[in-house]
Amino acid sequence: MDHHIPTPRLLPWTAPGGKPCYLISDHDGGPVAERADEIEGLQLDMGEELLGHAAALLGDPRAGAREVRYLAAQLTTALGDALRVARSRGARLGAKDAPCA
């Protein structure tokens, strides 16, 4: 008999205290999964937009240290979001390739 063991999905938000949140479901989809997909898409879009701003700011010789520090903080957040999305999606891809026990 083939049994499917659900793989926890790392969600793109955290619980109070910064602890990771996971979704455990025995099916694809559902309202929480759909919301997570939307938020991941927004995070990636915002990161891409921020990257464009970064290129412009770093190309401006008049940019001050305060602006560059703010940019670094925003890029750090965006990179953290992108890595979280990559870990979540990578784990789900690996789970689909793994044989069921």
pTM of the model: 0.78
Largest Cα–Cα distance in the chain? 67
pLDDT digits (tens, 9 = 90+) for 2-19: 566 778 899 999 999 999
pLDDT digits (tens, 9 = 90+) for 64-82: 999 999 999 999 999 999 9
Contacts of 25 (CB under 8 A, 6+ apart): 6, 9, 32, 33
Look at residue 12 and give its three-state secondary structure: strand
